[in-house]
Chain A
Amino acid sequence: MRIIVCLKQVPDTNEVRINQETGTLIRDGVPSIMNPDDKNALEAALRFKDEFGAELTAVSMGPPQAKDVLKEAMAMGADEGVLISDRAFGGSDTWATATIIAAAIEKIGNYDIVFCGRQAIDGDTAQVGPEIAEFLNIPQVTYVKNAKFEGDKLEVVRYTEYGEYVFEVATPVLLTAIKELNDPRYPTIKGINEAYGDKGEEKIRVFGIGDLVVDSTQIGLKGSPTNVYKSFVPVKNKVSEIIDGNNSKDKANTLVMKLSELNLI
């Protein structure tokens, strides 16, 4: 069994501030972390590895420093890493990113499960996982809360606000993980020493544009159908109003009227 886990390096949004003028994140001095939902995906994959001895490849697209999340994944137990990195990939939106990652997964080949996080805390689109599945032309289950093998069959629980779905799915399949899926383990001391030493470096392959079969019109800033028109911080206006009335009943009626005018009830 081979499992590919897609990981994104993101700024720790707990520590991020926003430039009020440009509406963009101030990334200077902000630590980078493994996207939290992706860590749940990795943990689920590691549990399959513990149980069935699956081969686990961690994949990340990003600048050279994104190697750090691959090393973190290896310190937790992933067998190898693939960094997808090229200037030509810069500025990619979710469509272009999924195009590139799908091409990298095709190149790795022979996979049974592709595990992604539900969404990244810096973009919150939740699009890349599903798009990868479409480009790979494989089934997908999103918002996965539980995944286990029953014999040869993979049983997956999809969690939504309306209820839960239980699916039996064929592999290869792409799953997107939510935090309810598990509680990710810590990297081990031994894992850290190996992953961040020379051994770890040797276990990371780097895929550039020359290594992948991709349509160059579909990638990078130019190949991205999404264009950010403007980004801004929503202005929060607080207006208070004290409701007058002869008695509590009148006041309550006025309150109900006002709330219903605002479509709040």
Chain B
Amino acid sequence: MDFNFSKSEEVIQKVAREFAEKEVAPLAEEIDREGRYPFETFDKMVKCGFTGIAVPVEYGGSGGDDITKIIVISEIAKKCGATAAILSIHAVFVQTVLKFGSEEQKQKYLPLVTSGGKKTAFALTEPNAGSDAATVKTTAVLEGDEYVLNGTKCFITGGNVADYVVVFASTDPSKGVKGLSAIIVPTSTPGFSVGKIENKMGIRASQTAEIIFDNCRVPKKNLVGKEGQGFKIAMIGLDGARIGVAAQALGLAEGALEESVSYMKERVQFGKPIAALQGLQWYIAEMATKIECARWMIYRAAYLKISGQPFTKEAAMAKLNASETASFVTNRALQIHGGYGYMKDYPLERMVRDAKITEIYEGTSEIHKVVISRAVLG
């Protein structure tokens, strides 16, 4: 058993950390306040190859695997949960095309979305279909060589900035989830439009939008996999996405711990740094222990995925635990900062808000408990 990073992974961590400190941290407060999508940071992430992680070089990717993905997402999340979310969700589209796309689709789309700077979204959720994918109302009707899409998707991260969206629509409403299909829709297609842009509690810079399909026609060859495979593709995509969200949660927790440690050494009360107070020392011990636990659960789930073993249960556990850890640790960190933590001059209140979403999206904690208990009880 070896818990060490390879030399490349060590260097990637160092570079991602430097990138997060120099490029991500200075914008974090502003893009949160304004709810502004950080286009400039996305472009820089493309140049560094962050958008091509775990995609083979021949498709324009960066190589590497889920371990690389965890390293980069968590380092960025230490400084900005929203930027990490953008990267993590972009990867879901990319991995869906890589895993289920035809050779033609891979050659066409992967270079554009890994190193070509194009943005993506993953559109499953609808107003009445959140955790219950069987109630998807969006339809895709085959007419000649084209699918005609109609319907509305909501809460789509990056839906308003994406160049390509993988849409889960029903090609056979009579079959429920078995009638779902995954279709790539370029957002330049007539009939595609952006509706409401949500005003969110956290990860405000990763804009979340309603997207509308009104007789939106795309070529039949944009179907990913086969008709009726949509649910399976979505669920496998979300299995992988859980690792990304868990990495985001891990980074938020690690960032909050780092902020707390430096604050506790500087802040003097009763004539000594508050790091000398045992009550707060115990907070730090709890926070650090939970982070350690979260970290290795995530890396183990990634290891299982990379080595081709079943990982659904472990990814669900890692995501459930990491997101609860992120909420616990960021709240404790805010408490350690006292009144300053509650002010927007410090990043803690933003981290608390950014952490909360990790317990909700890409499957709520409750859904993850369903997944885990099914796996355990059989």
Q: Are A190 and B62 in contact (CB under 8 A)?
A: yes
Chain B residues, CB < 8 A from A185: 47
Tell me whether A189 and B47 are in contact in the complex, defined as CB-CB below 8 angstroms, given that A196-B8, A197-B8 are known contacts. Answer: no
Give A72 to B12 CA distance when docked, in angstroms: 11
Q: Are A192 and B47 in contact (CB under 8 A)?
A: no
In the complex, what's the smallest C-beta–C-beta distance from B104 to chain A, in angstroms?
A: 23
Complex partner residue of A189 from B6, B7, B12, B18, CB under 8 angstroms: B12
In the complex, what's the smallest C-beta–C-beta distance from A259 to chain B, in angstroms?
A: 37
Q: Are A189 and B53 in contact (CB under 8 A)?
A: yes
Interface size, B (range): 20 to 34
Q: Are A193 and B15 in contact (CB under 8 A)?
A: no
- Residue A24 is within 8 A (CB to CB) of chain B in the complex: no
- Residue A19 is within 8 A (CB to CB) of chain B in the complex: no
Q: Are A196 and B48 in contact (CB under 8 A)?
A: no
Complex partner residue of A192 from B15, B18, B57, CB under 8 angstroms: B15
Give A193 to B6 CA distance when docked, in angstroms: 10
In the complex, what's the smallest C-beta–C-beta distance from B370 to chain A, in angstroms?
A: 35
In the complex, what's the smallest C-beta–C-beta distance from A89 to chain B, in angstroms?
A: 25
Q: Are B48 and A186 in contact (CB under 8 A)?
A: yes
In the complex, what's the smallest C-beta–C-beta distance from B90 to chain A, in angstroms?
A: 14
In the complex, what's the smallest C-beta–C-beta distance from B268 to chain A, in angstroms?
A: 24
- Residue B49 is within 8 A (CB to CB) of chain A in the complex: yes
Which B87-109 residues have a C-beta within 8 angstroms of A?
none
Give A192 to B53 CA distance when docked, in angstroms: 12
Residue of B nearest to A33 (CB): B14
Tell me whether A196 and B11 are in contact in the complex, defined as CB-CB below 8 angstroms, given that A186-B19, A190-B63 are known contacts. Answer: yes
In the complex, what's the smallest C-beta–C-beta distance from A74 to chain B, in angstroms?
A: 11
Q: Are A187 and B52 in contact (CB under 8 A)?
A: no
Q: Are B47 and A193 in contact (CB under 8 A)?
A: no
- Tally A-B pairs: CB < 8 A: 47
Complex partner residue of A187 from B11, B57, B64, B72, CB under 8 angstroms: B11
Give A212 to B62 CA distance when docked, in angstroms: 38
Give A71 to B68 CA distance when docked, in angstroms: 18
Q: Are A190 and B11 in contact (CB under 8 A)?
A: no
- Residue B155 is within 8 A (CB to CB) of chain A in the complex: no
- Residue A83 is within 8 A (CB to CB) of chain B in the complex: no
Q: Are A186 and B18 in contact (CB under 8 A)?
A: yes
Binding site secondary structure of chain B = helix
Q: Are B8 and A188 in contact (CB under 8 A)?
A: no
In the complex, what's the smallest C-beta–C-beta distance from B337 to chain A, in angstroms?
A: 26
Q: Are B49 and A75 in contact (CB under 8 A)?
A: no
Give A187 to B17 CA distance when docked, in angstroms: 12
Q: Are B62 and A189 in contact (CB under 8 A)?
A: yes
Complex partner residue of A186 from B8, B15, B62, B68, CB under 8 angstroms: B15
- Residue B231 is within 8 A (CB to CB) of chain A in the complex: no
Chain A residues, CB < 8 A from B50: 189
Tell me whether A192 and B11 are in contact in the complex, defined as CB-CB below 8 angstroms, given that A186-B47, A186-B48 are known contacts. Answer: yes
Q: Are B63 and A189 in contact (CB under 8 A)?
A: yes
Which A171-219 residues have a C-beta within 8 angstroms of B?
185-193, 196-197
Residue of B nearest to A200 (CB): B8
Complex partner residue of B12 from A71, A192, A197, CB under 8 angstroms: A192
Q: Are A75 and B19 in contact (CB under 8 A)?
A: no
Q: Are A189 and B19 in contact (CB under 8 A)?
A: no
Tell me which of B57, B62, B68 has the highest count of chain A C-beta atoms within 10 A of its own C-beta.
B62
Chain B residues, CB < 8 A from A197: 8
In the complex, what's the smallest C-beta–C-beta distance from A29 to chain B, in angstroms?
A: 16
Residue of A nearest to B61 (CB): A190
Which B30-69 residues have a C-beta within 8 angstroms of A?
47-50, 52-53, 57, 61-64, 68
Give A185 to B18 CA distance when docked, in angstroms: 12
Interface string of B1-27 (1 = CB under 8 A from A): 000001110011001001100000000
Knowing that A186-B18, A187-B48, A189-B68 touch, tell me 10 more A-B residue pairs with CB under 8 angstroms.
A72-B11, A185-B47, A189-B49, A189-B64, A190-B49, A190-B57, A190-B61, A191-B49, A193-B63, A197-B8
- What are the 3 tightest A-B residue pairs by CB atom distance, in nearest-first order? A189-B62, A189-B49, A188-B49
Can you list 17 A-B pairs, Cβ within 8 angstroms, ordered by A? A71-B11, A75-B11, A185-B47, A186-B47, A187-B15, A187-B48, A189-B49, A189-B62, A189-B68, A189-B72, A190-B63, A192-B12, A192-B15, A193-B8, A193-B62, A193-B63, A196-B6
List A residues at the B interface (Cβ < 8 Å): 71-72, 75, 185-193, 196-197
